[in-house]
Amino acid sequence: MDQTIKNLFLFLSTNKMLIKLAKKFGLRFGATRFVAGETTDQVVKVIKELNQKGLDVTLDYLGEFVDSREEAFQTTELTIDVIKRIGSLKLSSQVSVKLTALGLDISEELVMKNMRRILDAAKENNVFITIDMEDYTRCQKTLDIFKILRLEYDHIGTVLQAYLFRTMSDIEDLNEYTACLRLVKGAYKESVEVAFPEKRDVDENFKKIIEKHLLNGNFTSIATHDERIIEYTKELVKIHQIPSGQFEFQMLYGIRPERQLELVKEGYKMRVYVPFGTDWYGYFMRRLAERPANVAFVLKGIFKK
């Protein structure tokens, strides 16, 4: 049943008609638990509140798969505006970007132009930029672009997904770039030809890539809500005496907030992935797909209204 629910929500996450309806009617049905707001002012308030609790942030202006230069330009402008706000207010926040929101599916020239504008603004405001990983069909393009930009900029990282067969070789390939990586399990629906279909295999691969990247001496963000992975990482860094400044834990806004604070109290660096914007639908559907409990929470919210 859980897998059926997951597949349903992953399918719905790419439905263009529902995406348009979501943009039209705004945040509804419990989405505010996982999305910090629709405007920059709303999300800045959330960042301040999280920072006051000792939590760092990575901010994501939601949007993906744009098919117009104008929309890619608008996303770039808003991202730059957010970077400037973070810099001027001295907030403890990084920024995550999706290349498809910046024109990846339109042309490489466009996405590179927009990324360089973002990275130039980020350098000026001392803000780190992470290129989010999307579905498998865009994985290689994303890594190729990251490599080019990594040679030009220091304040840039990217994401690798444990459920893909190729990820261990990507870890090895990116080592020469001293890449700062966010390691995740993965949240897209992928073919069994490219991804582990069983959760236990994904979990084992997740542990392997965490160990590999840490022992390579590179900065590693372990993005997970899985307590077993968290405890595994704690034991790993203890055994190998990995310095606290070489890694951090990351969790999504609205998921396990109490555990996030506990990790801070335990002395670990904890970063919260905070999404905002009007294009929240696809992100929200993937969060519902991850855990049936999320669906129950949303249904409860609907019937309370």
Of 182, 271, 286, 287, catalytic = 182
Tell me whether residue 106 is exposed, middle or buried, using C-beta atoms within 10 angstroms of its C-beta: 0 to 12, 13 to 18, 19 or more.
middle
Q: How far apart are CA 271 and CA 299, in angstroms?
A: 28
**Catalytic, out of 60, 132, 170, 279:** 132
- pLDDT given at position 6: 56
Give the phi and the psi of residue 297 in degrees, each rounded to 5: -65, -45
**pLDDT score for 30:** 53
Give the pLDDT confidence score for residue 187 in this predicted structure. 80
What pLDDT was estimated at residue 278? 75
Residue 288: the pLDDT is 64
- Does the annotation count 182 as an active-site position? yes
E strand or H helix at 184: strand 180-184
- pLDDT at position 303 is 36
* Cα–Cα distance, 210 to 222 (Å, whole number): 7
* Ordered per-residue pLDDT tens for the chain, 305 residues: 455 545 544 554 455 554 555 454 545 555 677 888 889 999 999 999 999 999 999 999 987 778 899 999 999 999 999 999 999 999 999 999 999 999 999 999 999 999 999 999 999 999 999 999 999 999 999 999 999 999 999 999 999 999 999 999 999 999 999 999 999 999 888 999 999 999 999 999 999 999 999 999 999 999 999 999 999 999 999 999 999 999 999 999 988 999 999 999 999 999 999 999 877 666 666 666 665 555 444 444 333 43
Domains and CATH numbers, the chain: 36-279 (3.20.20.220)
pTM of the model: 0.86
Question: CB pairs under 8 A, 24+ apart, for 227-234?
Answer: 227/259, 228/203, 229/203, 230/263, 232/207, 234/268
Q: What is the pLDDT of residue 300?
A: 43
Per-residue model confidence (pLDDT) at position 302: 35
CA distances from residue 199 to 183, 218, 281 in whole angstroms, order as listed? 16, 26, 25
* CB neighbour class for 113 (10 Å; exposed up to 12, middle 13-18, buried from 19): middle
